């Protein structure tokens, strides 16, 4: 992430935005006891999720961000892994639920995004839920990502991508500036 993006994502303003967005994303969703968070970044969502699950495992590709999360007192029910979510060393069917919040556009290609979706499906138990949200393109969003990775996910084609990765019962809801999704790993 570029410096402006790092500043925003570590700011109290972003934490407040996430605190408002997560209830919308997870409305009516039961993640279960053992939850995977993909791409926690600075941990704004992690702070909320750790109180919602018996155990939360976070997979973060950026070593500095992963180490920063490890240094924080997140509690005994949180495990932070520095790993690439497109090739996780986690066991098959290990999680009841998985989430990712405003991070898919940081995955550098649609091919790698699809690999990440397939990996999430692999580590979820049959019937496990995958929920999340991402931003839609705007001029401001584009400016925030100057000299940064930004591969915007099209919410129109995302349901088919989720199905191809092994999910069913896919729902995508679009609002100005963002979309949320929910899907279940096929039985």
15-54 confidence digits (pLDDT tens)? 788 788 888 999 999 999 999 999 999 899 998 999 999 9
Long-range (24+ apart) CB contacts under 8 A made by 174-180 are: 174/136, 176/136, 177/135, 177/136, 177/138, 177/141, 178/21, 178/102, 178/133, 178/134, 178/135, 178/136, 179/133, 179/134, 179/136, 179/153, 179/155, 180/24, 180/25, 180/131, 180/132, 180/133
The pLDDT of residue 114 is 98
Residues β-bridged to residue 59: 38, 81
The pLDDT of residue 144 is 61
The pLDDT of residue 115 is 98
The pTM (predicted TM-score) of the whole model is 0.91
The pLDDT of residue 22 is 87
The pLDDT of residue 121 is 98
Lookup: tokens for 108: 């550098």
The pLDDT of residue 51 is 92
Exposure pattern of 128-147 as b/e (b: 16+ CB <10 Å)?
Answer: bbbbbbbbbeeeeeeebbee
Lookup: tokens for 24: 């919308």
Find out whether 179 and 131 touch, Cβ atoms under 8 Å: no
> Containing H/E element for 133?
strand 124-135
Domains of the chain and any CATH numbers: 3-185 (3.40.50.150)
The pLDDT of residue 104 is 94
The pLDDT of residue 184 is 98
Question: Which residue numbers in the chain have pLDDT < 70?
Answer: 1-9, 73, 137-147
The pLDDT of residue 116 is 98
Residues 54, 90, 96: CA angle, nearest 5 degrees: 35
């Amino acid at each position: 992430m570029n410096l402006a993006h790092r500043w925003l994502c570590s700011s109290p303003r972003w934490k407040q935005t996430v605190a408002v967005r997560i209830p919308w994303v997870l409305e009516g969703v039961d993640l279960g006891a053992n939850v995977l968070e993909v791409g926690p970044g600075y941990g704004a969502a992690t702070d909320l999720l750790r109180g919602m699950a018996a155990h939360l495992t976070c997979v973060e590709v950026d070593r500095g961000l992963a180490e920063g999360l490890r240094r924080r007192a997140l509690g005994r029910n949180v495990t932070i892994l520095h790993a690439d979510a497109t090739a996780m060393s986690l066991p098959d069917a290990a999680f009841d639920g998985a989430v990712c919040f405003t991070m898919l556009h940081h995955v550098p290609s649609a091919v790698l995004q699809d690999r990440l979706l397939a990996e999430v499906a692999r580590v979820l138990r049959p019937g496990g839920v995958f929920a999340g949200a991402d931003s839609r393109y705007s001029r401001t969003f584009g400016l925030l990502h100057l000299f940064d990775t930004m591969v915007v996910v099209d919410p129109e084609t995302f349901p088919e991508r989720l199905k191809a990765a092994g999910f069913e019962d896919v729902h995508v809801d679009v609002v100005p500036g963002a979309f949320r999704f929910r899907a279940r790993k096929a039985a």
